[in-house]
Amino acid sequence: MTETVKVGLIGPNDSVNETMKASGSLDGIELIPFIYQHTEETKNILNQHSARIGHWLFSGPAPYHFALKEKLIDADHADYILLHGSSLLGTMLDAFMQEGAVLSSISVDSVPRREVLKMLKDFDLEKLEIHTAPELGYIPAEELIDYHEKLYRSGRIQAALTCVHAAYNGLKERGVPVYRISVSELAAHRAISVIKERSLSDLYRMKQLAMIGIEIIYPSQAQQRKTPFKIERQELAMNRVLIDFAEEVKGSKVGMGNGIYFIYTTRGELELYSKSHHPEELKEEIFANSKFQVRIGIGYGRTVTESEQNVRLALDYAREKENGVVINIDEGGKVTEINSSGDRLRYSRRSSESKWQEALKGAAISQTVISRIESLSHHYAKVELTALELSQWMNSTERNARRILTELESIGLAEVAGEEAGRRGRPRKLYRLLFGA
């Protein structure tokens, strides 16, 4: 059975109607219309309906850029109908017919200048003078009205062409010859197809399996032998927290033994939970109720096997960290470290650099460590560092950091750039990272 995706369609009445007609030939998508008189009404529409609609299609660039400017949408879940030269040409021909003459100079907004120039060249209209409004995202209707009217009053244009409904009405009221650029069926069809593919991709992604691994950091064996019943009571208290958490993410809890618990859910449920909760909150709640410190790893996958492999790998990574970061590994091998303040460090455990793979043969350092150091270098915007600084970046010992830098030097990914001056005792070597070389 084909999935049907719901997409909110925002625009003035005429543009929305034309777009709705174009959607009739596409299966698997349901456009839900939201009509406005003025672009700024987009804010209320999004605030009222974003909770039930995940993807948005805008009838033109004006409402889209307005929503981006107001931070009401993100570009991954929204798109707009790009006005091509075909839309402009149709409106120009209509203007010529109504004016009873071929106009020699006009002004245009909302159509990219490259599309205007292409249209002029394709139809041998390069003698036509066209003024285009600045392409700087959202421009209020009043500014567009002033732009076109100023050109008209100064005699530089004979008519204005606009996509913005409010600008069209405003120019008519001021007596400026104006024509509305309408959405072409082809442009609408293309935009709907793009947003449909995005929506389906996101829908499948949200249905991916997600596993949250929680591992108890037990006290020493000697302490466990002294207080066995205390440990059992702590585990019971922790289980109550995990049951509540599993219920909240609509998942199920499984004990894997040796103080490890897995909670199975979907990516969509976990991301919905993460919108209002930080992963650190679960650790804090477990500690508050059971006095257990825990590690948390999260694994995503297209299958149960893949997600379980990733959550076990995430826990392995978490064991290496002294500061208790939450480790997240997705189906593409991307690793995300989330610290207690919410900062995220992303890197890949699979290097795509063939020269690294060749250089790493026989080296005592992994591709994952290299990827992590490269990401840390970008994060701190620094390519020269000492072993002490690297140890602080990686929460490891200075001795281990020195070994890593020596290995990087041996395979050509670092070089000695000098020594750190102004210190007592043995000077520290200053290394330069060569990932971009």
Q: At a CB cut-off of 8 Å and minimum separation 6, what does 88 contact?
A: 108, 111, 115, 116, 119, 161, 181
Residue 397's SS3 state is: coil
Quote the CA–CA distance of 411 and 272 in Å, as a whole number: 43
pLDDT per position as a tens digit, 355-382 = 556 666 666 777 778 877 887 887 777 8
pLDDT per position as a tens digit, 397-406 = 888 889 999 9
101 or 130, which is more confident? 130
Q: How far out from the chain centre does Cα 25 lie? A: 30
Is the distance from CB of 110 to CB of 164 less than 8 angstroms?
A: yes
Quote the CA–CA distance of 40 and 60 in Å, as a whole number: 13
Residue 239: pLDDT over 60:
yes
User: What proportion of the chain, given as a percentage, has pLDDT over 70?
Assistant: 92
Per-residue exposure over 126-137, b if at least 16 CB sit within 10 Å of its own CB, e if not: eebebbbbeeee
Nearest to 69 by CA among 40, 105, 97: 40
pLDDT per position as a tens digit, 251-260 = 999 999 889 9
pLDDT per position as a tens digit, 317-356 = 888 776 678 888 888 888 888 877 777 787 776 544 445 5
| Angle in degrees, 0-180, between the axes of helices 367-380 and 398-410, rounded to the nearest 10 | 100
Nearest to 236 by CA among 292, 304, 173: 292
- What confidence score (pLDDT) does residue 1 get? 47
Quote the CA–CA distance of 228 and 41 in Å, as a whole number: 64
Average pLDDT over residues 44-54: 90
User: What proportion of the chain, given as a percentage, has pLDDT over 90?
Assistant: 37
Q: What tokens does 215 get? A: 């591992």
pLDDT band for position 170 (cuts 50, 70, 90):
very high
320 or 250, which is more confident? 250
pLDDT per position as a tens digit, 259-298 = 999 999 999 899 889 888 887 899 999 999 999 999 999 9
Q: What tokens does 127 get? A: 């003698």
pLDDT band for position 47 (cuts 50, 70, 90):
very high
The residue with tokens 């299966």 is: 27
State the DSSP string of 267-330.
Answer: HHHHHHHHTT--HHHHHHHHHHHH--EEEEEEEEESSHHHHHHHHHHHHHHHHT-SS--EEEE-
- What confidence score (pLDDT) does residue 29 get? 85
pTM over 0.75: no
